Structure 1
């Protein structure tokens, strides 16, 4: 069983909890240097020395994206600006960018947790690692690059876009491992086929690790078949470090959260109370070792559950969380019904005739809401087969959603692709 840091990854539970408490006390003292946290804690009558056990984390204030934007760009620093060596910002498409500054040690910790994730996914020094992610203020490319370099793999910093060139680089250099987002990996697979290159047969890519957007087991399975590769899920967010807070092991049954660096809670998003193990709630995260911008109890809005298993069969003791089911803020209401995009994806990806790309369009028909699901077919279909598939998916979605959507089958390659995050939901109700 490969580990990057076996001692820490397999640390006995009691030792891991002692380390977490020690680091929690330390980071709260560090965060007290930040005006927002100092004011919020004083208003609640809390001082750093009041944190005496792990459960005391619930005494601490929450942090939200709005908090970080209000104090942007440097108001959340716990150190002097000249102690920071790098800056990254969120990939969000709305609002002021969430900016995070890193000390040299923060970069080292990020590299370490990314290396753990990549080795857990099978990366070795012998691999040729292609990184088709935009290099810039977005954290993704740098996280994968730092981690792969720390492992000792040969990194191809291929960057954003130029999809045909990405395939050419894979073929020319013999790429064995790729990273990125699952929707772009699906697009690259289709580009390869259009170039007369079968990714499963003609390329050497046999492992991939993908994050930044939610994907269901069905989509994971289709991507694995397209490339003939083992597909790994990685989680992370700019506010913690970027990608690398957790990822899945070879068992593909939950993602290991690196608890020596991140304290994860799973809370009911309405009551803010902890939920039971294996009950869905919102992940709330605290950095335990961040120097530049320690973050306490960050509301991720990501819905998942924590496993009630103390040790995984892979040997790692760090808690696992489920793949992200959805977000507390991406649920949409259509005709009075609550719908998560993941519910729709789950239905679509069960069908062998469906491709990897889809989008959900929210519109109006008169005064009524209208839900339309557009999905690419795996191969070009006849008109009759299209209609049959549309009807079948419509009925299956109706059973799941308890409302009847319109389903449109599109030819492969019709839906525009994005290298960062696929825009799955388009709400046009305000413009109609």
Structure 2
């Protein structure tokens, strides 16, 4: 807080402005990471002939990235936690620039796959840092909004970046698209060095072992909600095309467009609510996701119901990751957020893999109509954990340290005047 104003003789704190340039730099880093991960999925027919492999093997470039991110998040975060934070961030972005440049120039599938593994490792490191970095740049009472701004880069990449990258590749070639991504990462390095504050790494004597961070009050509950939500979501989202066909609505592109547009609205609403009503917002989001799965299970064959349900699903899911990650940072504290977030990154990727695998098995054995009924109990489990874990993980009232200090000061002032 930087200024105060007087109202009827009482000093009223005025919040300091958010460090917009630094937060937008981190949001652009999230945008770059998601676009780097997913762009090959939209370019399979163009990349396969140039690399001399099948489209399925080009698809493995996405799988390799995700696998490397899953494997690297915890060990790399633990290895690098003592280094200055901005140095690690710049190193990860430089890795993205190098990897995308190699992909843009390479004609060897093996070299391209190796570059994608490097990018995945950088991604695991980056995702472990972003929320904690944002939290350290703002007062505690504005932490949720700062994290929402940073994670909005994910939503923009999914709803706008991937389609725009695919169009760009069609116009100027897929190599040029990856070249643009490499150039964006280079520019982002300069932006980060110019605007993002430098924070020190953890001193050796202050480092809490990873196992102890995982056991901090509230952390297991937040990780459980992350897992249940991602498995339930991915069961449906991975197979939205066959489900739409099952519902008699073959326009999968429109379904995904409705979902993507709704996620943008969802993260905006979350930015408004997260600092004051995190618990209520998360309960509402998870409850809405569960209600959507129930509606899709009962009335999927009605096209209007399908589109309305998908819109509500995107609205609810759009803000859920921000709410959960803010709860994680609250439980761990900003100083341990990198390690806690590395755990969540691993759980997040495990949830995506488990949901996709489960949905595939269900689709083959039971048909697309069974998918919502598999997703529903998982979302109910996530909702139940949030409902029960109201003390440490998802408290009804998130009192910031600044608020606590103000209250303490007011109490001392009252005692002196008594």
Please classify the TM superposition score into its range, dividing by the shorter chain length.
under 0.3
The structure richer in strand per residue is 1
Higher helix share: 2
Compare relative contact order (CA 8 Å, sep 6+) and give the higher one, 1 or 2. 2
Scaled by the length of structure 2, the TM-score of the pair is: 0.25
